[in-house]
Structure 1
Amino acid sequence: MATVAPQAVDQGAVPYTNGTSAPTLPATNGTSAPVMPTEPTNAANTTGTGVGNGPEVVSTSNGLEVICGPLLNYRRMSAENTDNPIWHGSVLLVCTPGNAPGKLTLQSGESSIASQPQQYQGTKLYEDEKSAFWQFSIEVPFLEQESVWQYSIPSMRTKAGQPVDKPLRFFLPSKYESMRIMFHSCNGFSVGTDEDAWSGPALWNDVLRVHAERPFHVMIGGGDQIYNDSVRVDGPLKPWTAISNPEKRRHFPFPEEMRAQCDQYYFDNYVKWYGMAPFSNANGQIAQLNIWDDHDIIDGFGSYTDHFMKCPVFRGIGGVAHKYYMLFQHHLPPPVSTYTTDAPQTTGGHNKSTPGDPAQLQKSYVAKLDVEDPSYIIGKKPGPYVEERSRHIFCQLGKRMAFLGIDARTERTRHQINYPETYEQIWNHVDQQVTKSNGGIRHLILLLGVPIAYPRLQWLENILRSPVIAPLRLLNKRFGVAGSFFNQFDGGVDLLDDLDDHYTAGQHKKERKEIVHRLQGLAKKHSMRISILGGDVHLAALGRFYSKPELNIPAEADWRYMPNIVSSAITNKPPPTAVANLLARRNKIHHLDHETHETLLELFNKNPGAGEPGVKPKSADNNHATMPSRNYAIITESNPHSAPGVNGATVHAPNGDSTTFTAPKNPREPLHAGEQGAGTEHAAASGVKRTGLMGVDGLDVCIRVEKNPSDREGHTEGYGFSIPALEVAGYKGQGDKW
């Protein structure tokens, strides 16, 4: 966990500690044997104090009044290559100010495991007049078998006064297995959506049903975990948005009063959304791992014109959104202050983090982040519009799987997604960490947020940027004609910010190609399969990069074969059927370079829930590549793993039998045995059972798609496929000279 300095005594805070004793597990004689962490605890590294005067509020309520939470996060595992790895995570509690929570108690949830309860004191990350954020940094050992742990915090009460005394449970895989992943994105609604007509966040009911049948160990948030767009419709930016003169809107200041109003809006929206069932029911029992995207700030942030993105109001909300992203989604203290035109020191020119503003610190307290957690890769300089450095994540998800989440929003402009030096940091870090695993990491799960293997829409970009749009823009400016076609910020075509977000957009073409080439190099060097997660587009699909057929490299040995699992949205409404069908028609076989091709798999053999009462078709009969229906994804190892030499030792073995598989003439069809029969009839379609396909180190993937948006229980139909591990060294083909 990131090291956070203890608060000064006069702030009424409790010093940070990692607990009273080490985690325990059963010894061979049935007694409890201590399993000591293999690295120093964070408590030994905390120094200094936080900043700010605090709200000077003393709570008089009976018990601890909880505003939001508990929220559970996964951070990393330590001692990956020893016999006793440790799971590191955190619990976040948002309470009324002026009251400190008691110790968190953590213990095994299974009576058969003898272990002593561990207790952890909280660290106050932030406090102001409306709330106090408390973080509990926890750690538990990976055991010989999958384990369940439960935690509780005493005297918790809701704002209505109801006691919250039921312990929450979470699961860890055995130390011989990788984590079972749930992946989601776009967990909110766009402005103007009839949320009730779409049954609210109904698919989280399905997530909880699957979790009860076979537990998830981590849930990866791919961006847009919350939608803050209404800040401009019924929030504090509404008067600013209503300014008709673009110049006046661009130069409008972002004073302390507006900052405080936006701060209240973002806080309230997070509390509302993260406290809404059934999403809230998952937050405390499935560990989260999140990277943000534009709606976590505001729609299109980073992809509007540079002169508009630099306007005070946009830079201001960027800072406020980042503050609550750090707190709610990462359980970390925010910068001491955020951008405001009333405090010139906050408006840029620094090379690390926004300096303090006395006005903001007068009634708030911010903990000092003393040492960054090693799971983070921190950019070297602030973003162009958010006054903070980018924050990327690399961690191991159990025995053989690693995760890389790239922050593609903090440094984004219309013409670049990340700084070149940031990419070098990321690739070098991954290379070093995978090398340290000595061949132990067999899969890298890469989160990009926006799909990278996806149909081109450059023809549409060209139309929207062409002179034919100019007369319509003039009519819009003077008479409001085609109002919804143009955005309310810089007067540009509203759809363009979405297109500019795509890696396949014309201005990102070179950057995209460099990313894929670096990934290919990492995959080949380490014989490590790379699978990409993407969201944003509000439909489900499976893109793939692969070596051109003329090279005759089977997928099991093809370092260029990288599936892009597109899962979006878990809550927001999907695009119209016509848009999904258009994308499917644009599903050409593209050529990234002379050796690398890409296309979508024809994954969807039928519409979800076809034939069931009240279920309407989601796509055309000839569209099997894009599915415009709400969804989420499940990723898990195809085979069970146990101690070496016991019931199928974890040794490298040949992947699935590709000798009976014949590569298709049409790459939209299956490229290997794991894609054969992909869809509802595939063995992985339930998302619960292991298929045993594609060898010892293969992965199973299921995209669970909503049948009926009117169903408040969120029932889904699963579409499955499997991914082979990569065995570069075992290939003796003629395609490449290496």
Structure 2
Amino acid sequence: MMDEAQEPGHAGPILHFRGMAGDGIRLATIIIRPLNAPAPPSLRVSTAGVAPVRIAEIANVAIWRHDFTLTPADRGYEFADCFYEVVTDLSGDLRLAFVSCNGEENGDLERDDDERNLMWTRLAQDHASAPFALLLQGGDQIYADEATQGHPLSEDWPDHAPEVDDSAALQDLARHLRNRFVERYLHVLRAPGYSWMAARVPTLAIWDDHDICDGWGSLPEKRARSAVGQALFQAARETYLLFQHGAVESDIPELFLDATGASLGWKRELPGLTIAAPDLRSERDRHRIMGPAGWQSVEALAPQGEHIFLVSSVPLLGPRLSLIERVMMAIPRMQHYEDDLRDQWQSRAHRAEWRRMLGQVLQWRDHARVTALSGEIHLATRAEMGPQAQKIHQLVASGISHRAPPRAYARLLGLFAGLGEAPLPGHPIRILPLPGQRHRYVAERNYLTLTRSAGHWQAVWHLEDSGKTPPLELSA
């Protein structure tokens, strides 16, 4: 298996899953080329050609898109004299991959490619031996924390955001931020392992804070609402749509649950399976996780599948955090970490909203099995909520390229998780070890595979050092 060599300013094809078309699947693939480069060639499906459409120009590159449908009889598509095999029959046995945290806060662009992308290379090898139908990305697909550096208005972000009403200066900041975001996306899209996968496995993604900046939505509101903060959010949102969805503003009503784009949550219905991802960032502030548009989308979701995969970028089931928050706020040196805790569903600031979300999940559980898929914490773990008749599984796979924290941290968190939590009466939350592991949290880079065989779902974690876990039954 070899990655396709690409010239500077080039990336793609990158597949995005749009949904079902009868028994077939609707796809879009984006191709990235320098602004002055000729248009990419047509894409071919069977004997038909699909011409590319130029959907955007940004930071000296052009984004081209092919929109097409593959039927179960199709084996894939042809582009630039290369044939790319794609899983096109989603009606029976099925394999999905889930990843999150594809980068690091500092120095990600300077890391050694082989070290950084080790788990991507393993995932690509996994696909080559047993193909995946979809790649689910649960947040922090890029780490944009350093994008604000190098411009006088954002150099000290997030510690300081100057007051500014100079439109020319803000336009220059917007240009700077767009350039830096595009640089990071191209670094990811061209990476060994990832680029090979992205051309063959359609992706579905939801964003988290590092796709914008560390702690977006849990920072002081005056800073987030400042001109600098809003310029940062707009650059992140534009590039998130382009590179993680192959989309622009006019595509939002078709692709997302909220036609206005205030919330970018989405849902896809596959045979026997609903995959949904609420947007936990666009409307977030220090007092809420989702706003009116996000909640309206979640409560109107109406999943149809026999099994629901709910992608929650921040873990939905977790340990009690209120005690830790109180301790940290009492220690001046620890107050720096208060934003990180407020980012979680389990924060005391979000407890009522957390109960509301768990109540909604239980309503879905009356009609289908529910499994939450989460990332964000740079550890692998799992959880269960409720009695057997209403059991909710949560699978956390976090750190496809982000290096793991110290094992001592994972052990300490595991001890804390042993205190238990029960935000809804009669539905205790239990943080449990992965199959074959002794401790509740595993400090290794990892990804997750989800397999449906004869109608039954199983999950397997792939750990950097420990290897594959025994399968966890999700249908039991």
Q: What CA distance in whole angstroms lies between the structure 2 residues aligned with 1:324 and 1:596?
A: 40
**Is structure 2 residue 310 aligned with structure 1 residue 462?**
no
Alignment equivalent of 1:377, drawn from 244, 247, 257:
257
Is 1:722 the counterpart of 2:473 in the alignment?
Answer: yes
Q: Which residue of 201, 204, 219 maps to 2:135?
A: 219
Is the 1:223–1:535 contact (alpha carbons within 8 Å) kept by the matching residues of 2?
A: yes
AA at the equivalent of 1:102: P
Tell me how large the CA RMSD over aligned residues is.
2.5
TM-score, normalised with respect to structure 2? 0.91
Deviations 1:104-143 (A, max 9, x none): 1123xxxxxxxxx221111111125711111100101135
Query: 1:414, CA displacement in angstroms?
Result: 1.3
Q: Does the CA contact (< 8 Å) of 2:52 and 2:66 recur in 1?
A: yes
Shift of the 238–206 alpha-carbon distance from structure 1 to 2, 3 Å rule, reads farther
> How far does the alpha carbon of each residue in 1:612-663 deviate from its partner, in whole angstroms, 9 at most, with x for none?
xxxxxxxxxxx52110110010111132xxxxxxxxxxxxxxxxxxxxxxxx
Q: Are 1:150 and 2:77 matched, yes or no?
A: yes
Q: Quick one: which amino acid aligns to residue 518 of structure 1?
A: Q
Q: Is the contact between residue 228 and residue 295 of structure 1 (CA under 8 Å) also seen in structure 2?
A: yes
Residues 78 and 86 in structure 1, CA contact (< 8 A), matched pair in contact too: yes
Q: How far did residue 238 of structure 1 move?
A: 6.6
Distance 1:65 1:139, change over 3 A: farther
Give the residue type in structure 1 aligned to 2:174: R
- Once residues 244 and 509 of structure 1 are traced to their aligned partners in structure 2, the CA distance between those partners, rounded to angstroms, is 26
Structure with higher Rg: it is 1
Alignment-derived partner of residue 583 in structure 1: 413
| 2:41/2:79 contact within 8 Å kept | no
Q: How far, CA to CA, are the matches of 1:370 and 1:532 in structure 2?
A: 27
Q: May I ask how many residue pairs the two structures share in their alignment?
A: 465
Q: Which amino acid aligns with 2:62?
A: A
Q: Match for residue 701 of structure 1?
A: 459
Q: Distance in 2 between matches of 1:370 and 1:600?
A: 39
Which residue in 1 is equivalent to 2:14? Answer: 71
Gaps of 5+ in 2: 1-6
Matches within 5 A, 1:579-728: 579-587=409-417, 588-606=419-437, 624-639=439-454, 697-707=455-465, 716-724=467-475
Distance 1:151 1:166, change over 3 A: closer
Distance in 2, matches of 1:128 and 1:289, equals: 22
Q: 1:243 to 1:391 in 2, by over 3 A?
A: closer
Shift of 1:425: 2.8
* Cα shift at 1:540: 0.4
C-alpha distance 634-245 of structure 1, shift in aligned 2 (>3 A): closer
Contact 1:178–1:637 (CA<8 Å) still a contact in 2? yes
Q: How does 1:68-217 map to 2 (within 5 A)?
A: 68-79=11-22, 85-98=23-36, 99-107=38-46, 117-128=47-58, 130-143=60-73, 148-153=75-80, 165-174=81-90, 176-177=91-92, 179-191=94-106, 195-196=111-112, 199-217=115-133
SS at match of 2:30: strand
CA deviation map 1:374-428 (0-9, x unaligned): x420165xxxxxxx5211111123x211100111110111111111453233222
- Aligned partner of 1:348 in structure 2 is none
Q: Distance in 2 between matches of 1:150 and 1:308?
A: 46
Secondary structure of 1:90 counterpart:
strand
* Aligned with 1:539 (options 359, 372, 379): 379
Gap change, CA 1:278 and 1:425, over 3 Å in 2: closer
Task: Deviation per CA, 1:463-517: give whole Å up to 9, x if none.
Answer: 2222x41xx5xxxxxxxxxxxx7xxxxxxx4322221111111111111111111
Query: Cα distance, 1:445 vs. partner?
Result: 0.5
Determine which of 519, 544, 549 is the counterpart of 2:361. Answer: 519
Is the contact made by 1:707 and 1:717 (CA closer than 8 Å) also made in structure 2? no
- Whole-Å Cα distance in 2 between the matches of residues 295 and 445 of structure 1? 23
Find the residue that maps to 2:471 and give its secondary structure.
strand
Task: Find the aligned partners of 1:453 and 1:379 in 2 and give their Cα distance.
Answer: 29
1:562 pairs, out of 379, 384, 392, with 392
* 1:102 Cα deviation after fit: 2.7
More displaced stretch, 185-194 vs 263-272? 185-194
User: 1:507 aligned to 319, 330, 349, which one?
Assistant: 349
**Structure 1 unaligned blocks of 5 or more:** 1-63, 80-84, 108-116, 154-164, 335-368, 381-387, 435-440, 473-484, 486-492, 548-554, 607-622, 640-696, 709-715, 726-738
Cα distance between partner residues in 1 of 2:470 and 2:93:
22
Structure 2 counterpart of 1:228, from 125, 128, 144: 144
Q: Is contact 2:119–2:400 with CA below 8 Å preserved after alignment? A: yes
Whose RCO is larger (CA < 8 A, sep 6+)? Answer: 2
Matches within 5 A, 1:412-423: 412-423=284-295
What's the offset of the Cα at 1:461? Answer: 1.2
Change (3 A) 1:242 1:168: same
Residue 180 of structure 1 aligns to a residue whose secondary structure is: strand
Q: Does 1:266 align with 2:181?
A: yes
1:391 aligns with 2:261: no
Aligned partner letter, 2:35: P
Q: Tell me, yes or no, if the aligned pair for 1:217 and 1:287 is still in contact at 8 Å.
A: yes
> How far does residue 101 in structure 1 lie from its aligned partner after superposition?
2.5
CA 1:707–1:251: 2 relative to 1, 3 Å: same
Give the C-alpha shift of residue 323 in structure 1: 0.9
Which amino acid in 1 is paired with 2:197?
A: A
User: Could you tell me which of 192, 195, 202 is aligned with 1:277?
Assistant: 192
Mark the CA change 1:137 to 1:584 in structure 2 (over 3 Å): closer, same or farther: same
- CA shift at 1:191, angstroms? 1.2
